[in-house]
Amino acid sequence: MEHGYGESSIFAADVNDSPPPRHGTQFQRAKELAVSALRNLRRVVDTGAVPPEFTERLLLDQATDFSYIMAAISLLGLNTIGLLYFDFMHTSGTELRAPAMLAVVLCYAGLIYKARNWLKFITPSAQDAKAYIAAMAQLLVLLGVFWSLLLFLLVRQADLTRLCLLYGIMVGCLATPVMVSPAICAIAYWLPVSFGICVSVVSAGRVDSFAMVDLLAFILLTGFCILYINRRLNERAVGAIRLEENAEVIKLLLRDFEESASDWLWETNAMLELQRPSQRLAQVARRPAEQLLGIFPAVLLGESVNKEQRPGSALERLNRAIAERSPFRDLVVPVTINGEERYWSLSGKPFLDKRGRFAGYHGVGSDITSQRRQQEQISFLARHDSLTKLPNRVLFSEALHEACEHCKNTSIALLCLDLDNFKIVNDTLGHATGDALLVAVAERLRGCIREFDMATRLGGDEFAAILVTDKPEEALAVAKRIIERMARPFQFDGQIVKVGISIGVAMAPRDGTTPTKLMKNADLALYRAKEEGRGTVRFYDPAMDERVRERRALQSALHRALAQREFYLEYQPVIDLATRRIAGAEALIRWRHPERGLLPPSAFIPLAEDSGFIREIGKWVLHEACATAAAWPEPASIAVNLSPLQFRDPKLACQVSEALASSGLQPGRLEVEIVESVMLDADAGVKQTLRDLRAQGVRIALDDFGTGYSSLSYLRRFPFDKIKIDQSFIRDLGESQDGSAIILAIIGLAQSMNMVVTAEGVETAEQAALLGSFGCAQAQGYLFHHPMPPEAFSRLLAQNPPHPARPPAG
> Residue 736, SS3?
coil
Residue-level pLDDT at 51: 67
Residue-level pLDDT at 364: 85
pLDDT digits (tens, 9 = 90+) for 338-389: 777 888 889 999 998 878 889 899 888 888 888 888 887 888 888 888 899 9
Residue-level pLDDT at 712: 61
Calpha distance 464→487 (Å, rounded): 17
- For 356, residues 6+ apart whose C-beta sits below 8 A from its C-beta are 52, 53, 55, 56
Calpha distance 299→279 (Å, rounded): 15
The DSSP element (H or E) to which 553 belongs, if any, is helix 542-563
Residue-level pLDDT at 32: 54
End-to-end CA distance of the chain: 113
Q: Which residue, 421, 378, 403, 542, is CA-closest to 464?
A: 403
Could you give the C-alpha distances from 696 to 691, 692, 798, in angstroms and in order?
Answer: 9, 6, 29
Residue-level pLDDT at 34: 42
DSSP state at residue 15: G
pLDDT digits (tens, 9 = 90+) for 549-570: 777 778 778 888 888 889 999 9
807 pLDDT more than 50: no
pLDDT digits (tens, 9 = 90+) for 264-288: 788 889 888 888 887 778 878 888 8
Q: Which residue, 604, 617, 618, is CA-closest to 647?
A: 618
Q: Chain centroid to CA 168: how far?
A: 53
Q: What are the start-end ranges of the H helices in 121-159?
A: 126-157
Q: Which residue, 196, 33, 29, 34, is CA-closest to 104?
A: 196
Calpha distance 182→611 (Å, rounded): 73
Lowest mean pLDDT among 307-311, 440-444, 782-786: 307-311
The CA radius of gyration of the chain, in Å to the nearest whole number, is: 46
Sheet harboring 340-352: ordered strands across? 274-275, 263-268, 358-367, 340-352, 328-337
pLDDT digits (tens, 9 = 90+) for 572-617: 999 999 999 999 999 999 999 888 888 888 888 888 887 788 889 9
Tell me the pairing of strands 340-352 and 358-367.
antiparallel
Q: What angle do CA 759, 764, 768 make, to 5 degrees?
A: 45
Mean pLDDT of 9-23: 37
Most confident of 205-219, 494-508, 657-671, 679-693: 657-671
Contact indicator for 256, 265 with CB cutoff of 8 Å: yes
Residue-level pLDDT at 483: 94
Average pLDDT, the chain: 83
451 phi/psi in degrees, rounded to 5: -65, -35
Calpha distance 357→11 (Å, rounded): 27
Quickly list DSSP for 316-356. HHHHHHHHTT--EEEEEEEEEETTEEEEEEEEEEEEE-TTS
Q: 3-state SS of the chain: helix, strand, coil percent to 5?
A: 55, 15, 25
Burial class (CB in 10 A: 0-12, 13-18, 19+), 366: buried
Cis peptide before 802 (omega within 30 of 0): no
- For 315, residues 6+ apart whose C-beta sits below 8 A from its C-beta are 301, 304, 305, 307, 308, 309, 333, 334
Calpha distance 707→93 (Å, rounded): 104
Residue-level pLDDT at 809: 40
Higher per-residue confidence, 247 vs 788: 788
390 pLDDT more than 70: yes
Counting residues of the chain whose pLDDT is more than 90, the rounded percentage is 32
- For 746, residues 6+ apart whose C-beta sits below 8 A from its C-beta are 705, 706, 723, 725, 729, 757
Q: Which amino acid is at 142?
A: L
Counting residues of the chain whose pLDDT is more than 70, the rounded percentage is 86
Q: Chain centroid to CA 74: how far?
A: 44
Lowest mean pLDDT among 79-83, 378-382, 801-805: 801-805
453 phi/psi in degrees, rounded to 5: -90, 170
Mean pLDDT of 131-138: 90
Calpha distance 289→114 (Å, rounded): 51
Mean pLDDT of 43-53: 51
Contact indicator for 169, 80 with CB cutoff of 8 Å: yes
298 phi/psi in degrees, rounded to 5: -60, -35
The CB-based long-range contact list for 315-319 (8 Å cut-off, 24+ gap) reads 318/346
Higher per-residue confidence, 182 vs 240: 182
Could you give the C-alpha distances from 159 to 77, 234, 506, in angstroms and in order?
Answer: 22, 44, 74
pLDDT digits (tens, 9 = 90+) for 455-496: 999 988 999 999 999 999 999 999 999 999 999 999 888 888
Mean pLDDT of 33-58: 54
Residue-level pLDDT at 45: 36
Q: What angle do CA 184, 352, 364 make, to 5 degrees?
A: 130
Mean pLDDT of 291-313: 74
Residue-level pLDDT at 443: 94
With cut-offs at 50, 70 and 90, classify the pLDDT of residue 40: very low
pLDDT digits (tens, 9 = 90+) for 616-627: 999 999 999 999
Calpha distance 663→671 (Å, rounded): 15
DSSP state at residue 384: B
Residue-level pLDDT at 355: 81
pLDDT digits (tens, 9 = 90+) for 698-753: 999 988 776 655 556 667 667 789 999 888 888 878 776 767 888 888 898 888 88
Higher per-residue confidence, 500 vs 710: 500
Residue-level pLDDT at 808: 40
Using a cut of 0.85, tell me whether the model's pTM lies above it: no
- For 513, residues 6+ apart whose C-beta sits below 8 A from its C-beta are 404, 407, 408
Contact indicator for 115, 108 with CB cutoff of 8 Å: no
Q: Which residue, 18, 9, 17, is CA-closest to 41?
A: 9
Contact indicator for 589, 622 with CB cutoff of 8 Å: no
